[in-house]
Amino acid sequence: MFAKLVVYCAYYLKAADWYKASKAFFFDLLENRQSRRKKYFDATMIMLLVLSVIFLIYDIEHTDSKMGGYFELAILMVFIVEYLLRGWIYSDTYKIVIEEYEKALYLNLPFKLSGIYKKLIAKDLEYISSVFAVIDVLAILPSYRPLDILRIFIIFRLFKLFRYSDSAKLFADALASKRFELTTLLIFTCFLVFIASVSIYMFEYQNNASINTLFDAFYWTIVTLATVGFGDITPQTAGGRWVTIFLILASLGVLSFFTSILIAAFSEKMLSVRESRTYAALEHYDNFIIICGFGRVGQEIARHLQEEQSRFVVIDKSPEKVAAAKSRGYLAIENDASNNAVLLNAGICRGASAILCITGDDVVNVYITLTSRHLNKGLRIISRANRHDNVNKLYQAGANQVIRPFEIAGMLAAEFVGQPVAFEAISGILQSQSDIVMESVLVSEKSALEDRNIGQLDLEQRKLTLLGVISANPIHLKHKNKYPVNQQHFYFNPACQFILRRGDILVLLGRKYGIDHFRDQVEQRRLFARRSA
């Protein structure tokens, strides 16, 4: 009967939205690294911890302060609630119940609660014995007044900081990754300490006033082993001195081994630390560009983007190229860009506005293009094709634009032979090397340009040359000199009677500030207002 009730409850919870929502909320709050809530929560907890330790220090001198007591209680409640909540979201009880129940149904066995209890307890134990849970308990326990000796452990609360700060976690991870080496070293050190303490105890017990217990011997061993050597206890017998000599020699080995393990662990972790820092920096940006491949082309683009202070991140497999990117102050990730996780971490679905697949290898480019398109349907993808046959493959893979470096260079070479002057002119304009630039001005809704004809714009006086108008508006189709460009038309050299409609784009040639000035005036709608007045 009771078992039935349990199963019923489990099914009810499975279907309940409020249950799921609240669990998701607390998961966000406590565990989900991506969520903003966790950040605030972590900050609050760190503050509480620091405050509680400050109160501890205060309490040492001022016993029985009332405020401290209340505060302590409040912190304690928060910690307990947090501990229980973490236990709650650690596992889904109802899932275990349902799973067991359905298994029993399927196998035609009687459904027993004892099996479930066993599993639940196993899960709970798993949670309780996890490192962070133990630290949480250590933070709670000292507040239990009867165990006053434990008050010193309140300092352990600071270990809770590990939970709330990623850098501390990385430190712990680095140590954890060297578990095997550290264990070996620990066992060896234990032997050494045991042998040294016992032998010094044997030699010195009668002859040395300062070694009276085995604990004194142990204390002396540790002090010597760590090469600290306070000198408060010194061996007096010849036997004791021999033990000292051997212990010092052995401890040199132990210490250097320990140091080398630590250094190795940290230098291994350093890479991922840097990478996660890059990811963290990217999280604050939106509208950035992902550059896959930091070859010559990538460097050129990065340089331009840097000049304009646009945001971008470089992904490259080769460590040298990533190092080169970093030395120039760019954000860079050393990883394989065709890997889903790498692109997702880099923010392909979050803040990226475009991705450039410009490695020297077409196979890689196709693969990155495909991966990115699969991850983000609306993203702008520009890919580089080194061989002509691969252009269509890149379009099929989902690229918006495909660029062929050798084709462009070949074309420019041919242009240059034919018309060097014209070529220099146009490349100067396109590359913005000269003062003269080519820019577009949008005819926005209700702007001063809308429904005006070209003759009224007075462009000549403004020292601007109108090359043409880009428009998707079918109303213009009667005009001549139109060139289809994608879904729009480019109207070259439009006549004076050409009437501008909203959404049209003017392509102007002129000095940069001339065009900017024109654009400003258009935006402010002063241009014609003043005239008509």
Partner 1 sequence: MKQIAVFGYNRLSFEAISRLDKEFYRIVVIDHDPVKVALARENGFETANIDFRSDDDLRLAGIGGHIDTLFCFFDTDSENVFLTLSARALDPSLNIIAIVDSPESAEKLLAAGANKIIDPYEICGRKIHDMLKRPDITEIFDHTVFGRHDLHLAEVAIPDNSFLENMHVSQLELRSQYNLLLIGIVNKKVSDRLHFVGEEIDRRLNVGDILVILGPSREIRAFKKDVENEYCKI
Name which of residues 312 to 371 contact partner 1 (CB under 8 A).
354, 356, 358
Per-residue burial over 80-93, b if 16 or more Cβ lie within 10 Å, else e, is eebbeebebbbbbb
Q: Candidates 27, 257, 416, 528: give the one binding partner 1 (CB under 8 A).
A: 416
Q: 51, 137, 263, 425: which one contacts partner 1 (CB under 8 A)?
A: 425
CB of 381 to partner 1, least distance (A): 11
- Please give the backbone phi and psi of residue 499, each rounded to the nearest 5 degrees, phi first: -100, 130
Q: State whether residue 333 is helix, strand or coil.
A: strand
Least distance (Å) between residue 295 CB and partner 1: 7
Residue type, 106: Y
Which of these, 382, 197, 375, lies nearest to 293 by C-alpha position? 382
The least CB distance from residue 324 to partner 1, in Å, is 13
Binder of partner 1 out of 12, 242, 483, 513 (CB under 8 A)? 483
Minimum CB–partner distance for residue 121 and partner 1 (Å): 58
Distances (CA, A) of 372 to 97, 102, 225, 393: 41, 41, 56, 15
Encoded tokens for 272 = 């991922």
Residue of 485, 524, 525, 531 that binds partner 1 (CB under 8 A): 485
Select the residue interacting with partner 1 from 92, 439, 450, 523 (CB under 8 A): 439
Q: How far is the CB of 296 from partner 1 (least distance, A)?
A: 3
Least Å distance, CB 248 to partner 1, is: 57
Nearest distance, CB of residue 499 and partner 1, angstroms: 18
Distance, CA of 222 to CA of 216 (rounded, Å):
10
Cβ neighbour number for residue 459 with a 10 Å cutoff:
18
413 lies in the site for partner 1, by CB under 8 A = yes
Residue from the set 457, 470, 515, 522 that interacts with partner 1 by CB under 8 A: 470
User: Which of 241, 511, 517, 519 touches partner 1 (CB under 8 A)?
Assistant: 511
Instruction: Determine which helix (DSSP H) or strand (DSSP E) holds 348, and give its type and residue range.
Output: none
Binding test (CB under 8 A) with partner 1, winner from 28, 173, 424, 516: 424
For 227, other C-beta atoms within 10 Å of its C-beta total 11
DSSP-assigned states of every residue in 470-530: EE--GGGGGSSSEEEETTEEEEES--TTPBP-TT-EEEEEEEHHHHHHHHHHHHHTHHHHH
What is the x/- site pattern for partner 1, positions 223-242, by CB under 8 A?
A: --------------------
Q: Which residue in 492, 499, 501, 523 binds partner 1 (CB under 8 A)?
A: 492
Per the structure block, which two tokens stand in for 194?
């045991």
464, 500, 522, 527: residue in contact with partner 1 (rule CB under 8 A)? 464
- Nearest approach in angstroms of CB 463 to partner 1 is 4
Site for partner 1 in 164-193 (CB under 8 A): none
Residues 23-42 that bind partner 1 (CB under 8 A): none
Q: Which of residues 371-410 bind partner 1 (CB under 8 A)?
A: 382, 384, 386-388, 401, 403, 405-410
- Whole-number minimum distance, CB 325 to partner 1, in Å? 14
Q: For residues 503 and 469, what is the distance between their CA atoms, to the nearest angstrom?
A: 10
| Identity of the residue, 25 or 483, whose beta carbon is nearer to partner 1 in the bound complex | 483
> Which tokens belong to 28?
């966000």
> Binding residue for partner 1 (CB under 8 A) from 422, 475, 477, 529?
422
Which one of the spans 91-99, 193-201, 226-234, 507-515 is the region binding partner 1 (CB under 8 A)? 507-515
Rounded distance between C-alpha atoms, residue 433 and residue 423, angstroms: 13
Separation CA 405–CA 384 (nearest Å): 7
Sign of CA dihedral 431, 432, 433, 434: positive
Count the residues of the shown chain that bind partner 1, applying the rule CB under 8 A. 72
Residues 443-462, mask of contacts with partner 1 (x by CB under 8 A): -----------------x--
**Closer by beta carbon to partner 1, 126 or else 320:** 320
User: CB of 517 within 8 A of CB of 508?
Assistant: no
The letter for the amino acid at 406 is: F
For partner 1, give the closer residue by CB, 213 or 440.
440
Residues 132-151 that bind partner 1 (CB under 8 A): none
CB of 131 to partner 1, least distance (A): 47
For partner 1, which is the closer residue by CB, 296 or 526?
A: 296
Q: ∠ CA(232), CA(238), CA(241), 5° rounding? A: 45
Q: Which is nearer to partner 1, 240 or 298 (CB)?
A: 298
- Tokens, residue 154: 């309140």
Closest separation in Å from C-beta 486 to partner 1: 7
- CA dist., res. 352 & res. 314, Å (int): 12
Place of tokens 């900017």: 516
Q: Which CB atom, from 265 or from 331, has the smaller least distance to partner 1?
A: 331
Distances from the Cα of 168 to the Cα of 47, 102, 394, angstroms: 16, 43, 44
Q: Give the footprint of partner 1 on residues 254-313 (CB under 8 A).
A: 289, 295-301, 303-305, 308
Strands 436-442 and 465-471: unpaired
